[in-house]
Chains A and B, each alone.
Chain A
């Protein structure tokens, strides 16, 4: 026995080590901590040790490099900075004008979404983080960032850049976190194509390119179409840019479905800084509201500088608690609709003189005093019927008083309560027309 062991010692050791690791693999695959196969709340000890021992060196290298680069860029390499500053300022002015023109669309969209009961999600709070490392292998497309549980990071938080979606937080350590990129084969992201409104699931393929899988082959998708998040995965907010369609390819594993290769919007191979979305809300954040107000003001200033004679409407727009622009102070409101010239001698054909049809009764007469024009509040006061008053100015000969109506039933004879007309919320309230009485004054 001893000779057998000494003879095959190396092979036996190899078998033993492989067996232990295979059993370990089987345990991990058989009992994933969660349905997603994540390590669960308690990260495996070996993973914690390795990440905890390597990330300080990665941060040291990173910050050293940033320091050297910052010193070079901030103090030495300053050529053409002034020209660049001027061009950027011009760009900022142009963008402010663009933003001001888009504000109305945004607010209108919010009002319509509120009417439909649609809950839009807005990014409330983000945490900026530096990318400090990778997994080092193509089979696992994960990143490490220098923010962890001590900074309020939790698993499944979305990670983005200004260009687009990067991935989501997978494992969280004390001062570092692991980010699963959208081009990993085990990732999954609910997306929607911007034009065709085609929904699907995006994940990475073997070469590290994101692809949308399980697409019917009869769908007509063109290259260049934008891909955005659908919000259906309950992780990523709706509407974040993901990428653009590159081309459609056959998917032999899922025939007859095809796959759509996507060019990611974020530069996944050259990430330096990312934003972790730590809070999402259903209303426009206060910072964005103030940004809109500031942008309106700045845009008006820019317009005033470029077009001195133009009425820039420098009054600051008032925005309600839910992002609704108050109508009376809307500087970008469209001009009020054309009103007919007030008549010198109003009669029953004058606009506004006719009472609402709902208040009319067969055989009853009315006058302008009984049914005054609706007030702006939408409440029209009504007089009891059967009490006619003479018209102020009649062009036609007075007629005999109408025969009194037959004795109404008690229910009808009761005074009619004021009719409440539902107020119509104008998207852009027109200015109130001047009262006719003033116009008719000599």
Chain B
């Protein structure tokens, strides 16, 4: 993982996207997440909204925008469930903030870095989810460590592919 010095933040290019991309891509990710498991039940193991949150956060390298985008995606996800609204909102806000903060320091264009990044954030998301559901909501939830690790690996592999696809949406400057 290539670490960048602090003074390199200003030197790094922030990737820019068309404004519609920030709206349509997360919406498409949420839509596919809700629709595809009907046809392909195995697809439910993926977390496309989280991958999209991480991608835009590390690309923009702005913690506030990453946090706001994550909050919006998470609240939209919550609206599709029957659970209290805010669980995924909190999770994605934290993930967006941390991903943008890390994106300022490391080179996120490297596929290996992306793989580790998504793997790490998937596990973080699962742990925070467990904490929120058990501690804040006092609801029963079981934790299967091996399942979560495997899920993180699958998402990391899928995320690397999805990151490469989303790179094509960048504006060329």
Contacts and interface: CB of A to CB of B under 8 A. Distances in A.
A18 B87 CA distance: 10
Interface in A353-409: none
A206 interface: yes
Contact of A24 (B35, B86, B138): B86
B52 interface: no
A310 interface: no
B35 A10 contact: no
A50 B79 contact: yes
Interface in A120-161: 131-140, 142, 144
B32 to A, nearest CB: 9
Contact of B80 (A10, A61, A136): A136
A10 B82 contact: no
A28 B90 contact: no
Interface residues of B, number: 45
A313 B65 CA distance: 80
Given A10-B97, A25-B136, A51-B79, A207 B34 contact: no
B38 A136 contact: no
Interface in B51-72: 63-64, 67-68, 71
B38, B85, B101 pick with most chain A CB within 10 angstroms: B38
Given A29-B137, A46-B75, A61-B35, A14 B97 contact: yes
A407 to B, nearest CB: 87
Contacts of A83: none
Interface string A59-90: 00100000000000000000000000000000
B166 to A, nearest CB: 19
A134 B83 CA distance: 13
Interface in A44-62: 44, 46-47, 49-51, 54, 57-58, 61
A28 B85 contact: yes
B81 to A, nearest CB: 3
Interface in A92-133: 131-133
A58 B93 contact: no
B93 A17 contact: yes
B113 interface: no
A50 B38 contact: no
A375 to B, nearest CB: 66
Interface stretch (A178-186, A281-289, A318-326): A178-186
A14 B64 CA distance: 8
B140 interface: yes
Contacts of A253: 140
B141 A22 contact: no
Given A136-B33, A139-B83, A22 B90 contact: yes
Given A10-B63, A14-B93, A136-B77, A24 B34 contact: no
Interface in B64-113: 64, 67-68, 71, 75-77, 79-90, 93-94, 97, 101
B44 interface: yes
B71 to A, nearest CB: 6
B168 interface: no
A55 to B, nearest CB: 9
A269 interface: yes
A312 interface: no
B142 A46 contact: no
A22 B86 contact: yes
A28 B86 contact: yes
Contact of B64 (A10, A18, A28, A47): A10
Contacts of A140: 80-83
A105 to B, nearest CB: 39
A354 to B, nearest CB: 73
Nearest to B98: A14
A271 B41 CA distance: 10
Contacts of B83: 139-140
Contact of B35 (A18, A28, A58, A180): A58
B37 to A, nearest CB: 5
Nearest to A186: B82
Interface of A: 9-10, 13-14, 17-18, 21-22, 24-26, 28-29, 44, 46-47, 49-51, 54, 57-58, 61, 131-140, 142, 144, 170-171, 178, 180, 184-186, 205-207, 253, 269-272
Given A17-B67, A28-B84, A140-B82, 11 more contacts: A21-B89, A22-B86, A25-B87, A25-B136, A49-B79, A54-B31, A132-B38, A136-B49, A137-B77, A253-B140, A271-B38
29 contacts: A9-B64, A10-B67, A10-B97, A17-B68, A17-B71, A24-B85, A26-B136, A28-B86, A44-B85, A47-B80, A49-B79, A50-B80, A58-B35, A131-B38, A132-B35, A132-B38, A136-B30, A136-B33, A136-B34, A138-B44, A139-B83, A140-B80, A140-B82, A142-B82, A170-B82, A185-B139, A186-B82, A269-B37, A269-B41
